[in-house]
Structure 1
């Protein structure tokens, strides 16, 4: 990314409280057009809450969020989708009885309400082909394997024509061959110009795909920078990576 690249998303002092729990604490973060940002941190750090807050699922308790220069702090989920904010979910829950094709077509219709069912299905076919599910198009989503449901989730997110795509643990529960396939898809999406924010626990994937890493711990941003710098940051090693990881990485092991 060049220094002059414009920001697609800006968070200023964003907080989120759930009754007594402070899930996000004054997070300030800018995301540049075209970058792949890895969002990492321990379980419960606030990563999914941050994505939910940006996408309108759980509105911010404080601070401001802007997307392409427009204030979206109080946006609704359908409005976020129509602006070009799209996301996958950590827990994959497709419409079980719908075919794979109609799951993806439904996502297209949700984000582009003027679209016809015919054109939504045509687009859905293209997205299924991209994620390698064209032969499963007519199968009910309930019959797909976990890896296939994860790819279906990605196809649904792409059907929403994202400018900014949030991927929430797309590799969780996958074997190494499935992770490699998912990683190739993410590389292709990034090469196509979609800005991506990845919540991911597999550091191998983060270091392979991400141009930058932001680290959350207890709802606070504790590091933000180039992957090679962030993984050596003592606060990140203490809060998340652990000394063994740091030592292995330092020795190339």
Structure 2
């Protein structure tokens, strides 16, 4: 059951000096939808996530969360309103163990928790991502997928309504990838709205209800995953075949 619009971008634009990294991009993400943000490297996908999360201010355009303007708000305020994200490069706090990292997310997130409440909640979240047995482990002892799970747990600890996943599945082996896809399915079934920047086509086909395709900062296609992936312009953008 899709609900109303949760995130909407209207003419979102980001310039870095003379470079237009995101060029007049508009799209909407509906409640409980998994939206894929896809396209070749350097097409502006991560920058678009940064605009939504407030990590970067938009140069122009409007971004709204449930009809409420969030353009120009600091990242921490947007997180408080219920938007959490993961990063391409995992950013764990090395001085803290796994559960402390997750509790840090609970403190800064949408629903703030402290002390015993934060710890109980962090344990639940670690169970969700399959890390209950590693709560006291030091982050330096973790495998690659487990560091990614901790980062996801930290994002989830704030109980976000919207989850932004920036290539969260990148670098996983086939077994881990299957586990990762299952995990994202479960999060969606719990009622979250998810925007994911992803290159793994199996994951995109399996997870995404809809996709927005970007190329050189512009939106070149939008629609259901099947429609978009069979669009000749999208195929051309990915293959980089200018003669096609």
Gaps of 5+ in 1: 244-253
Residues 145-160 of structure 1: pairs in structure 2 closer than 5 A = 145-160=143-158
Residues 212-223 of structure 1: pairs in structure 2 closer than 5 A = 212-223=210-221
Look up the SS of the partner of 2:58 in the other structure: coil
The aligned counterpart of 1:181 is 179
The aligned counterpart of 2:37 is 39
Q: CA deviation at 1:118?
A: 1.6
- Structure 1 position 200 matched with structure 2 position 228: no
Q: Structure 1 residues 101, 37: closer, same or farther in 2, change over 3 A?
A: same
Q: CA deviation at 1:228?
A: 1.1
The aligned counterpart of 2:66 is 68
The aligned counterpart of 1:51 is 49
- Structure 1 position 28 matched with structure 2 position 32: no
Q: TM-score, normalised by structure 2?
A: 0.95
Contact 2:110/2:160 (8 A) holds in 1: no
The aligned counterpart of 1:96 is 94
Q: CA deviation at 1:114?
A: 5.2
Q: CA RMSD in A?
A: 1.3
Whole-angstrom CA distance in 1 between matches of 2:30 and 2:113: 30
Contact 1:33/1:195 (8 A) holds in 2: yes
Whole-angstrom CA distance in 2 between matches of 1:47 and 1:217: 9
Contact 1:109/1:117 (8 A) holds in 2: no
Contact 1:97/1:142 (8 A) holds in 2: no
Whole-angstrom CA distance in 1 between matches of 2:158 and 2:113: 11
Question: Which shifted more, 106-115 or 209-218?
Answer: 106-115
Q: CA deviation at 1:142?
A: 1.7
Q: Structure 1 residues 36, 238: closer, same or farther in 2, change over 3 A?
A: same
Q: Structure 1 residues 180, 242: closer, same or farther in 2, change over 3 A?
A: farther
Look up the SS of the partner of 1:81 in the other structure: helix
Q: Structure 1 residues 26, 172: closer, same or farther in 2, change over 3 A?
A: same
Aligned residue pair count: 241
Residues 106-185 of structure 1: pairs in structure 2 closer than 5 A = 106-111=104-109, 115-185=113-183
Q: CA deviation at 1:6?
A: 1.0
- Structure 1 position 224 matched with structure 2 position 229: no
Contact 2:106/2:114 (8 A) holds in 1: no
Q: CA deviation at 1:143?
A: 1.4
